Structure 1
Amino acid sequence: MQITFNGLTKPLVPSLTLQQLLDQELPDKQKSIAVSVNNTVVPKNSWSTHAIFHQDNILVFTAAQGG
């Protein structure tokens, strides 16, 4: 299975949830982030049940102060 994670193509084992993927890719950086899968933001309370599928496009956003 392949996905795109922040613009990079990555091979993955099937049957991962979004939370499992984030635990692998960003183990210490999950505070103050938002995640979209195929251009739809996934609420943080759904990460542990949101399944990842072949060719999903996943983007991680961090909060930034502007001015």
Structure 2
Amino acid sequence: MEVQINQQLSTVSDNSPLLQVLEAQGLAHSKGIAVAVNNTVVPKGDWKDHVLRPNDKIMIIRATQGG
């Protein structure tokens, strides 16, 4: 099925948990990231249980330092 990850189309397995997609992106164990699906933040503790659906829009935000 297709989902959008930061506005880029991506194909993932049907019924993929969010954690699986983040692992494929190399982000599952990264610190300083927040993830929203369809404009709703998904807490890190829920990533393994949040099942994605076709056309979901995933936004991954990384915290950065600046000054």
Query: Is TM > 0.5 for Structure 1 vs Structure 2?
Result: yes
TM-score when normalising by structure 1: 0.88
> Could you give the per-residue CA deviations for residues 17-43 of structure 1, whole angstroms, max 9, x where no partner exists?
000110001247621100000000000
Q: Which aligned segments of 4 or more residues in structure 1 are displaced greater than 4 angstroms?
A: none
Residue in structure 1 matched with residue 44 of structure 2 by the alignment: 44
Task: Structure 1: state its 5+ residue gaps.
Answer: none
Residue in structure 2 matched with residue 31 of structure 1 by the alignment: 31
Q: Percent identity?
A: 37
1:19 matched to 2:14: no
Opposite residue 10 of structure 1, the aligned amino acid is S
The root-mean-square deviation of aligned C-alpha atoms, in Å, is 1.6
Residue in structure 2 matched with residue 2 of structure 1 by the alignment: 2
Query: Structure 1 residues 28, 18: CA separation in 2 closer, same or farther (over 3 Å shift)?
Result: closer
